[in-house]
Structure 1
Amino acid sequence: MTTRGRIGDDGQDERERVVISSPEEMIASVPAMLGFPPPPGSVVLVGGRMSDGGNAPVMRVDVPGLQDEDTIAPTEGELFGEPGLDGPDGESGLVGGIDPGPAQSLAEFCAREGVRSVHLIVVREDCIDGHLAAQRAMDAAAAFDYWLGLAGTEVVNAFGVEEFAAGAPWVDLFGMVRGIQLDPDATHLAAVYAFQGRSVAASRSDIDRLYLTRDPDARDSDGGDTDAAAMAGTSELVARHDSAAACLGTGERVDDDELAVIGRGLLSIDVRDEVYRNLAQRTLTDDDGRRLLWWALARRRPPKERSVALLLLGAAAYFAGSGVHANAALSAAVTADGTNSLARLMLNGLIEGIAPERLRQVAAA
């Protein structure tokens, strides 16, 4: 697989290639791929081949019934459900203890996006040595294999894990193989993502809280030299934005008056779009001053300016393929300012599964 990079002078995408050659490394890389370790009750799809030759995305869903302790094995018809039959309110009903809805939804996405193959990881407590738990994990894997197969997507293999940790066991749900996980913090992918500034949180809710947090002394109304933003042109405001980012990137401070000018400047669509286009051409790295600047604006400035900063942080996460961070940032942007139409548009695109590369190529043009 490859990680997101920047678009070079020749118009080609420059990315570092990361080779994952064993189940141990693939499983250990999942927390870095998602941005957090998936909890029990999850099924993770690690994308393989796409019809266009590219890399398929990594996706996670909660599966109702996966954590249950039923003692009666479902029949095949109960486990897989009937194609085209939905439960109340148009949702797939819970059948045989496993809800086929998540598998159906991901199968539809894979068919639409041309995902040719995937690897499954089922997260279930006690699934390594517990008979009933192992059976439930195998039931979930079989349901996903069934629906993905109908969509033309091959499930290459399916693994069961109880947690993501160094030395934790994994089991092949379609075979008899077992193994021991590598350290999730020590994989090649984790190192690359850490360099790009993509940290791993303890949980999904921690990521959501990260983008909702503001400083105790954050401004709810304008202050500082905001007239300077009104008087400056687009190129000057973009230059001031970039200069402030460069200062923060080298450890210098940017005072609140300058943050006010930059925040007000980003309310100009022309300024925002130029900063957004520059981001698409050169995505963020770990110590990138733009990231520090947008975090400062998001935590300190009034709601409309905070919303634009969160939009840019969300776009950076989206371009990098971090759907969880993108969703959290863009949702927070819409919460801060319901009129932020670009944030809402990007959030809808994320939900609908628009590929990051497709969005980034358009934004960089």
Structure 2
Amino acid sequence: MTSTTTHTGTDGRVTVRISDPGELIAAVPHLLSFRPGPSVVLLNHAGAKERRILPVIRADLPDESFEPDAVRELVRRLLRHPGAGVTVVIIGCRPGHRAPPGEVPHKQLAGLLVRALDDVGRPVDHALWVPEIRAGVPWRCYLDDCPPGVLPDDRDTVMAAAMATRGWVTYDSREEMSRLLDPDDPAAIERRQRMLDAAVDRLAEAPAPEAIAAAMGHFGAEESAAHLSVVRAALARAEAGDLDLSDEDVVSLAMALSNLEVRDRCLRTAEPPGEPASNAAERLWLELVRRTPPPERAEPAVLLGYSAYRRGDCVLAGLAFDNALTARPGHRLAELLDLCLDRQIPPAALSRLSHPNGGAPMANTP
């Protein structure tokens, strides 16, 4: 019997339907964008018919004395989203945990979650345990409503192929994912810092009102038009697969994105989420995060985070907002979006930032 099927809609979107619990567990790394270590994961089934999974909520396995508090926090986060049911997946064991012979590890935690979710009207479809997410690893069910099984190779599933087709990458760990944002070359960063300092000094030599406005991220119409032109050219190159940025490219883009009007218009490049044009823009923002010195790095970092948030990759979004706040402490947009992420605001609710006046977002350019 086929337990995983795909359907390609008229808009080109691929829908993956999974009915086997083992394949649902194998989908977790792709849904999170990284392979989790010991964790408790809630898969929220957002619709009664389609059972679309949104969001995926993950937390480290808590110590036994903190399990009730951890359950309350997980349920609180889940209830920020509409849903018709939940799948609970517990991965691995916390250090020192020993399950009684014949019992599934962390049975108490699973029971607390099942009862708490049932109390708030979110029935648990499956409650599953697996020691790790690797091919051939056996999994078990806490509710005994399905026989145990063995995980498929998550890298060879239909889900993996669908994600790869969309250009999404699954990393072996959260740490590997976080290294994506590391600077590309310290010597190059220093070189570009000197170039940026010289460019900022030239701005400071402008007449006082213009210099003060530029320091606050506000520029005149002529400068804004020039900055938009720089960004549009880089986006067009990124969509063509060209992310080879010279020092001059990085500096000119950093200066363009320091124009808050231009930076805010670049939020539109996240629409529609996960499509080729918005994926290309996200790759450009990532390259700029890696290549741009602080504090200017904060602007591409917040754009990267926003794009990741809009397409549902909340882990990358959080890493990007942290990066922005490290580069420029007190960055207002990064603080706002990080607060939205912390409070589990649904990604769709952010679309007003992309087109705040209610009109349709621009296709692939700010």
Q: What's the TM-score, normalizing by structure 2?
A: 0.78
Cα gap change, 1:191/1:135 in structure 2, threshold over 3 Å: closer, same or farther? closer
Runs of 5+ unmatched residues, structure 1: 2-7, 67-93
Give the secondary structure class of the aligned counterpart of 1:206: helix
Instruction: Write the distance in 2 (CA, Å) between the matches of 1:208 and 1:351.
Output: 18
Cα gap change, 1:291/1:167 in structure 2, threshold over 3 Å: closer, same or farther? same
Instruction: Say yes or no: does 1:306 pair with 2:297.
Output: yes
Q: Post-superposition shift, 1:358?
A: 1.4
Residue of structure 2 in register with 1:79 after alignment: none
Contact 1:148/1:154 (CA < 8 Å) preserved in 2?
yes
Cα gap change, 1:324/1:112 in structure 2, threshold over 3 Å: closer, same or farther? closer
Instruction: Say yes or no: does 1:202 pair with 2:172.
Output: yes
Alpha-carbon RMSD: 3.2
Instruction: Say yes or no: does 1:46 pair with 2:43.
Output: yes
Instruction: Write the distance in 1 (CA, Å) between the matches of 2:49 and 2:17.
Output: 19
Cα gap change, 1:207/1:330 in structure 2, threshold over 3 Å: closer, same or farther? same
Residue of structure 2 in register with 1:321 after alignment: 312
- Give a deviation string over 1:192-226, Cα, whole Å, max 9, x none: 33333332222222323332444222133416767
- Give a deviation string over 1:128-157, Cα, whole Å, max 9, x none: x96458443222110101111222211111
Residue of structure 2 in register with 1:86 after alignment: none
Within-5 A mapping of 1:247-326: 247-248=237-238, 249-251=240-242, 253-281=244-272, 283=274, 285=276, 288-326=279-317
Residue of structure 2 in register with 1:358 after alignment: 349
Contact 1:225/1:261 (CA < 8 Å) preserved in 2?
no
Cα gap change, 1:250/1:203 in structure 2, threshold over 3 Å: closer, same or farther? closer
- Give a deviation string over 1:252-275, Cα, whole Å, max 9, x none: 633221221111111111101111
Give the secondary structure class of the aligned counterpart of 1:327: helix
Letter in 2 for 1:115: G
Letter in 2 for 1:26: L
Instruction: Write the distance in 2 (CA, Å) between the matches of 1:284 and 1:224.
Output: 37
Instruction: Write the distance in 2 (CA, Å) between the matches of 1:23 and 1:167.
Output: 14
- Give a deviation string over 1:271-327, Cα, whole Å, max 9, x none: 011111232345454995423432332122221321111111111111111111111
Give the share of equivalent positions with the same residue, in percent.
28
Q: Post-superposition shift, 1:335?
A: 0.9
Give the secondary structure class of the aligned counterpart of 1:32: helix
Contact 1:104/1:148 (CA < 8 Å) preserved in 2?
no
Q: Post-superposition shift, 1:251?
A: 3.3
Cα gap change, 1:62/1:133 in structure 2, threshold over 3 Å: closer, same or farther? farther
**Between 219-228 and 115-124, the greater mean CA deviation after superposition:** 219-228
Letter in 2 for 1:161: V
Instruction: Write the distance in 1 (CA, Å) between the matches of 2:290 and 2:159.
Output: 29
Instruction: Write the distance in 2 (CA, Å) between the matches of 1:50 and 1:350.
Output: 22
Contact 2:44/2:78 (CA < 8 Å) preserved in 1?
no
Q: 1:139 aligns with which of 103, 108, 114?
A: 108
Residue of structure 1 in register with 2:63 after alignment: 65
Q: 2:224 aligns with which of 222, 234, 254?
A: 234
Residue of structure 2 in register with 1:108 after alignment: 76
Within-5 A mapping of 1:33-182: 33-40=31-38, 42-50=39-47, 55-65=53-63, 94=65, 99-125=67-93, 131-132=100-101, 134-175=103-144, 177-182=147-152
Instruction: Write the distance in 1 (CA, Å) between the matches of 2:255 and 2:117.
Output: 48
Q: 1:184 aligns with which of 154, 159, 165?
A: 154
**Between 104-113 and 29-38, the greater mean CA deviation after superposition:** 104-113
Instruction: Write the distance in 2 (CA, Å) between the matches of 1:133 and 1:338.
Output: 51
Residue of structure 2 in register with 1:339 after alignment: 330
- Give a deviation string over 1:115-134, Cα, whole Å, max 9, x none: 331001111249xx964584
Q: 2:193 aligns with which of 208, 215, 220?
A: 220
Q: How many residues align?
A: 323
Contact 2:85/2:122 (CA < 8 Å) preserved in 1?
yes
Instruction: Write the distance in 2 (CA, Å) between the matches of 1:52 and 1:19.
Output: 12
Instruction: Write the distance in 1 (CA, Å) between the matches of 2:271 and 2:321.
Output: 16
Residue of structure 1 in register with 2:363 after alignment: none
Q: Post-superposition shift, 1:242?
A: 2.2
Give the secondary structure class of the aligned counterpart of 1:18: strand
Instruction: Write the distance in 2 (CA, Å) between the matches of 1:171 and 1:233.
Output: 61
Instruction: Write the distance in 2 (CA, Å) between the matches of 1:55 and 1:274.
Output: 30
Instruction: Write the distance in 2 (CA, Å) between the matches of 1:273 and 1:242.
Output: 14
Q: Post-superposition shift, 1:55?
A: 4.5
Give the secondary structure class of the aligned counterpart of 1:270: helix
Contact 1:117/1:156 (CA < 8 Å) preserved in 2?
yes
Q: Post-superposition shift, 1:237?
A: 2.0
Letter in 2 for 1:57: P
Give the secondary structure class of the aligned counterpart of 1:17: strand
Cα gap change, 1:119/1:288 in structure 2, threshold over 3 Å: closer, same or farther? closer
Runs of 5+ unmatched residues, structure 2: 5-9, 204-213, 359-366
